[in-house]
C-alpha cells in the first residue's frame, strides 16, 4: 500500500509560504503548519488514503487555522505592548553565511522572498479583514480559483471575488506610491546609513520624506517608539539620539523581506532590524523591529 508520508512532508515549503503571508509571523506560521500536520496524522490511515490531494487538504487546513488566528488576533493585539509589526525575514544566503556549519536550516529559509512578503505589502495585508487577507493571498498570490477559496473561507465565490478585489485595490494603491526598484532603494538606504553613522542630521533630513512615518515594535520587552513618529526633522533627530555612536551598535546593509534594509548588531547579536519604504529617492516609512521574539531567526549577527 502507498503511504502519504513523503508527499505530505514535501508540502512543508508551500504551507510555510502560505501561512507566513497570511499571518505576518514566522512563529505563528510554523504553529499553523504543525497544527495541519497534527490533524493529518490524527486521521485514520484509511481516511488519509482516501484524500486525493494531500497538499490541497493541508493547504485548506492551514488556511482555516490562519483565518481563525486572524479573527482572534485583534483581541490579542489589544494586550500587545506598543506597535505590532510583521516579523522580518533575512535573505537565506546572507543569513546562512553566518550560520555554524552543520546547524540545520531554519523554517525562514523556506520562505520565497518576492513582492508579496515585502514589509510594505505585509503592512497593507495587516490592515485588511481576515477574510479579505485570506482570499487575496490564496487567489492573487497562490492562484487558487475562487470556488476553492470560497470553500476555505466559508463565503460564496462571488463574495470571495469581491473580497479579493477590494484587497487588490489597497495593494495597488500602496505599490503605486512606492514604485521604486531594489537598486534605487539600496542607494537610499546606503546613504541613510552613512549619514546616520556620521551624525549628519542635515543629510538625514534630506533623505527622509517630509511626511515620513517611523514605527517600532519592541513587544514590551525592549525600549522602542511607543507610538508612530512623523516628520523628517523629528525622526532624523530621534535617529541620532539612538544612533550607532550612542548605542554602540554596528549597522550592516542587509536584505530584509526581499528589499534593502539595515541590521543593528551589538556584541555579536542582532538587536534591531530596520525596513524601509522608499519613494522618489526618499524614505517614506521606517519600520524598526526590536522585539527579541521576532528576531529569533536573526539571532546571530551576519558577517560584515
Cell of 290: 526590536
3-state secondary structure of 256: strand
Q: Do residues 263 and 298 make contact, with C-beta atoms less than 8 angstroms apart?
A: yes
3-state secondary structure of 55: helix
22/125 Cα distance (integer angstroms): 8
195/25 Cα distance (integer angstroms): 31
Whether residue 31 has pLDDT greater than 90: yes
Q: How confident is the model at residue 1 (pLDDT cuts 50, 70, 90)?
A: very low
Q: Do residues 287 and 213 make contact, with C-beta atoms less than 8 angstroms apart?
A: no
Higher per-residue confidence, 243 vs 274: 274
Q: 250-297, pLDDT tens digit by residue? A: 999 999 999 999 999 988 899 999 999 999 999 999 999 999 999 988
pLDDT at 102: 44
- Mean pLDDT score, 70-78: 77
Cell of 212: 515620513
Q: State the architecture of 182-294 in CATH terms.
A: Roll (3.10)
3-state SS record for 151-206: HHHCCCHHHHHHHHHHHHHHHHHHHHCCCCCHHHHHHHHHHHHHHHHCCCHHHHHH
Cell of 250: 554596528
Residue 271 carries which DSSP code? E
Q: Do residues 164 and 140 make contact, with C-beta atoms less than 8 angstroms apart?
A: yes
Whether residue 162 has pLDDT greater than 50: yes
Q: Do residues 139 and 168 make contact, with C-beta atoms less than 8 angstroms apart?
A: no
Element (H, E) at 273: strand 269-279
Burial group, residue 39, by CB count within 10 angstroms (0-12, 13-18, 19+) = middle
CATH 3.10.450.50 positions along the chain are: 182-294
- Mean pLDDT score, 142-154: 96
73/131 Cα distance (integer angstroms): 13
pLDDT at 94: 84
Amino acid at each position: 500500500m502507498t503511504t502519504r508520508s513523503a508527499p505530505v512532508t514535501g508540502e512543508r515549503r508551500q504551507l510555510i509560504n502560505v501561512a507566513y503571508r497570511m499571518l505576518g509571523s514566522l512563529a505563528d506560521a510554523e504553529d499553523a503548519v504543525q497544527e495541519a500536520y497534527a490533524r493529518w496524522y490524527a486521521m485514520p490511515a484509511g481516511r488519509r488514503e482516501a484524500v486525493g490531494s494531500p497538499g490541497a487538504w493541508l493547504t485548506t487546513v492551514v488556511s482555516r487555522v490562519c483565518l481563525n488566528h486572524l479573527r482572534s488576533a485583534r483581541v490579542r493585539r489589544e494586550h500587545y505592548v506598543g506597535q505590532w509589526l510583521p516579523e522580518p525575514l533575512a535573505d537565506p544566503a546572507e543569513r546562512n553565511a553566518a550560520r555554524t556549519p552543520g546547524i540545520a536550516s531554519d523554517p525562514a529559509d523556506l520562505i520565497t522572498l518576492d513582492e508579496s512578503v515585502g514589509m510594505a505589502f505585509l503592512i497593507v495585508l495587516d490592515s485588511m479583514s481576515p477574510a479579505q487577507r485570506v482570499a487575496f493571498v490564496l487567489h492573487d498570490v497562490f492562484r487558487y480559483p475562487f470556488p476553492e477559496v470560497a470553500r476555505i473561507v466559508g463565503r460564496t465565490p462571488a463574495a470571495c471575488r469581491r473580497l479579493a478585489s477590494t484587497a487588490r485595490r489597497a495593494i495597488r494603491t500602496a505599490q503605486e506610491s512606492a514604485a521604486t526598484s531594489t537598486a534605487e532603494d539600496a542607494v537610499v538606504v546606503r546613504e541613510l546609513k552613512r549619514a546616520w553613522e556620521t551624525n549628519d542630521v542635515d543629510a538625514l533630513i534630506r533623505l527622509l520624506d517630509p511626511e515620513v512615518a517611523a514605527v517600532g515594535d519592541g513587544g514590551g520587552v525592549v525600549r522602542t517608539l511607543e507610538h508612530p513618529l512623523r516628520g523628517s526633522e523629528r525622526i532624523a533627530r530621534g535617529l541620532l539620539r539612538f544612533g550607532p555612536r550612542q548605542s554602540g551598535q554596528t549597522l550592516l546593509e542587509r536584505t530584509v523581506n526581499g528589499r534593502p534594509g539595515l541590521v543593528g548588531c551589538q556584541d555579536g547579536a542582532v538587536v534591531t532590524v530596520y525596513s524601509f519604504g522608499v519613494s522618489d529617492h526618499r524614505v517614506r516609512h521606517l519600520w524598526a523591529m526590536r522585539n527579541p521574539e521576532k528576531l529569533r531567526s536573526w539571532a546571530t549577527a551576519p558577517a560584515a
